[in-house]
């Protein structure tokens, strides 16, 4: 199963380090970053779980909840959490799902047989407050995820949901943005009364709203 952007993120109920978690109920009207791990006690994932824990407040400020998933059992997760705190300087402060039966892995297409028929891949899912999947990003086992990039994408998605704009290459929060081609010049004048820089008829650069 391959989940596509715009689809409703599948619901599930599994055990986690913070108790039984029914995903849709737990999510409520917040956004979520769901990120998967192939197994406990994996070195790259240990650094990632610690990094997300250290920066949880940055996600919370954006209305985003964090949830990890690994196919190892709950007892293993609790032991691994001790290693994470010891080596990364941050205790696990969000739920880590115990997906021993691969319920979540199968629902979210986390098994890539041509890469490895048994191991879940390391995928990030950004899910919005309507429970729709807005981004999927899959990493090989050897490459750590970039928390800054995940936050950048969330900022872009939340900004562009609110305004008729898109964010250009390498955009950072506060940089200029692009007026959507679907917005006529007349409508753009109402939204952006200070004007814009028309590079071409379809590339109209404007100061970031808000």
* 71 and 130 fall within a common domain: yes
Average pLDDT of 1-28?
Answer: 93
Sheet with 122-127, side-by-side order of all strands: 19-22, 13-16, 96-98, 64-70, 31-37, 122-127, 133-139
Q: Which two tokens stand for residue 83?
A: 């290693």
Q: What percent of the chain has pLDDT over 70?
A: 95
Residues 181 and 87 in one domain: no
In angstroms, rounded to a whole number, what is the distance separating the alpha carbons of residues 205 and 190?
Answer: 15
- CATH number of the domain within which 80 lies: 3.40.30.10
**What is the pTM for the complete model shown?**
0.91
Above 60 in pLDDT, residue 82?
yes
Tell me: pLDDT of 158 over 80.
Answer: yes
Amino acid 38: pLDDT: 76
Q: Which residues contact 89 (CB under 8 A, 6 or more apart)?
A: 50, 54
* 8 φ/ψ angles, rounded to the nearest 5 degrees: -70, 130
Going by DSSP bridges, is the β-strand pair 96-98/64-70 parallel, antiparallel, or unpaired? parallel
Nearest in space to 185 (alpha carbons), one of 174, 198, 168, 176 = 198
Domain end call among 114, 145, 176? 145
What average pLDDT does the chain have?
A: 91
Options 27, 45, 66, 206, the catalytic residue:
45
Whether pLDDT at 67 is above 90: yes
Q: Does the annotation count 45 as an active-site position?
A: yes
- Asked if residue 172 and residue 87 are part of one domain, the reply reads no
State the total domains in the chain: 2
CA–CA distance, 53 with 158 (Å, rounded to integer)? 22
Both 170 and 94 in one domain: the answer is no
pLDDT higher at 176 or 210: 176
| pLDDT tens-place string over residues 84-131 | 999 999 999 999 999 888 899 889 988 765 555 445 567 899 999 999
Q: Provide the residue range defining the domain that includes 171.
A: 163-206
């Amino acid at each position: 199963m391959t989940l596509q952007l715009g689809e409703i993120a599948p619901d599930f109920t599994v055990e986690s380090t913070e108790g039984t978690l029914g995903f849709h109920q737990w999510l409520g009207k917040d956004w979520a970053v769901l990120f998967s791990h192939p197994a406990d006690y994996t070195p790259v994932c240990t650094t990632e779980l610690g990094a997300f824990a250290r920066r949880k407040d940055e996600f919370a400020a954006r209305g985003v909840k964090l949830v990890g998933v690994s196919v190892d059992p709950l007892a293993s997760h609790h032991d691994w959490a001790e290693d994470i705190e010891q080596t990364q300087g941050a205790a696990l402060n969000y739920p880590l799902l115990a997906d021993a039966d691969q319920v979540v892995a199968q629902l979210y297409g986390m098994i890539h047989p041509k890469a490895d028929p048994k191991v879940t891949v390391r995928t990030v899912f950004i899910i919005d407050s309507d429970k729709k999947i807005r981004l999927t990003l899959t990493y090989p086992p050897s490459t750590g995820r970039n928390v800054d990039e995940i936050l950048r994408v969330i900022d872009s998605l939340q900004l562009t949901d609110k305004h008729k704009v898109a964010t250009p290459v390498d955009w950072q929060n506060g940089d200029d943005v692009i007026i959507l081609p679907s917005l006529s010049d007349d409508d753009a004048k109402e939204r952006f009364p200070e004007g814009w820089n028309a590079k071409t008829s379809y590339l109209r650069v404007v100061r970031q709203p808000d």
